Amino acid sequence: MRKKRLQRFGDRELVSRLMPDASVRKPVVKFILLMIAFAFAVTGAAGPKVGIKLQETRSSGSEIIIALDVSNSMLAEDIQPNRLERAKQALSRLIDRLGDNKIGLIVFAGEAYIQLPITADYVSAKMFLSTISTESVPVQGTAIGAAINLAVNSFSPASEAGKAVIVITDGENHEDDPVQAATEAARRGVNVHAVGVGSTQGVPIPVRTRFGQRDFMRDRDGSIVITKLDEETLQEMVIAGNGIYVRATTANMGLNTVFEEIEKLDKAEFETRVFADFAEMFQWFFGVALAFLLIELIISNRKNRLRIFGNTI
């Protein structure tokens, strides 16, 4: 572009003779400095850090595993915004209160899966919690007993800390016997608590059609499926598991009551590894970018004129 603009004034060689002080190399150097400054500024804006390391800490607490129902019935909106999202919101706040306790996450529907092994890394716990949906388990249903059995086998085997399972569900069990599973858990020293989510009157389950329209889940006969809270099963389960039962509402999920009960459990000292970030480094990149900008501003477009023994070079 510079060459084209110069050509409008005449021949390049003649124009260059008219401007003997204009440097050919300096504009290129200034452009390179400007691009280097731009690269460092962009890197600094990205918020670089030195790295990530594992930090070992020692603490004392109990072990808690949350078993969260992710069956389609948890999409019912008798608790706003729906049963599952309300439970996730309450669990996120509970994680902030855990202190030195360890936590694990299990999701279940027709089958049960470990979402997060027992850990004291609460940042990871909240991250995994945010990804949970009704699609986390491919098989639909409600296997509460399988979730309890999986939770009992997921605790640290050599730990002497108190252990508890919190089952968050609407209680519509279709696959196994949760009372028997809770009885076995209590025999192995694990308390089983339950938070019942939903209304006992029953509500339909909202779904989206393939055209994006709102509808309700229907059975094979085309009738609307109604889901209701089965408090009787959950109450029998917690009695067998030496735990407590709390019914959730939109205003209060009841996890604080359960957590107060868990705080009475025995504590044990354990060593944990958590991720620790190094210091932010963006200021150094911005500093280098500023230095290159200042150098670019100082350099002129004229040739250097040095005089040696009266001669100009």
pLDDT > 60? residue 313: no
pLDDT of residue 300: 78
Q: How confident is the model at residue 226 (pLDDT cuts 50, 70, 90)?
A: very high
Mean pLDDT rounded to a whole number for the chain:
86
Q: Is the pLDDT of residue 163 over 90?
A: yes
SS3 category, 311: strand
Query: Helix H segments across the chain?
Result: 2-7, 12-18, 25-45, 83-96, 122-130, 144-152, 178-187, 231-240, 255-262, 282-298
Write the CA distances from 243 to 115, 165, 181, 233, 258, integer angstroms. Answer: 23, 9, 13, 13, 9
Contacts of 214 (CB under 8 A, 6+ apart): 206, 207, 208
What's the CA gap between 11 and 312, in Å, rounded? 26
Query: Is 80 exceeded by the pLDDT of residue 295?
Result: yes
The CA-CA-CA angle for residues 139, 66, 260, to 5°, reads 155
**pLDDT for residue 309:** 44
Q: What percent of the chain has pLDDT over 90?
A: 50
Q: What is the pLDDT of residues 125-160, one digit of tens each?
A: 999 999 999 999 988 888 999 999 999 999 988 788
For residue 164, pLDDT beyond 80: yes
Residue 193: closest CA among 163, 166, 229: 166
Q: DSSP assignment of 111-172, as one string?
A: SEEEEEEEES-HHHHHHHHHT--TTSSSS-S--HHHHHHHHHTTS-TT--S-EEEEEEE---
pLDDT in tens, 74-126: 999 999 899 999 999 999 999 998 888 999 999 999 999 999 999 888 888 99
Greatest CA separation for the chain: 107
- What percentage of the chain has pLDDT greater than the value 70? 86
Query: Which tops the pLDDT comparison, 6 or 155?
Result: 155
CB of 68 within 8 A of CB of 106? yes
pLDDT at 56: 65
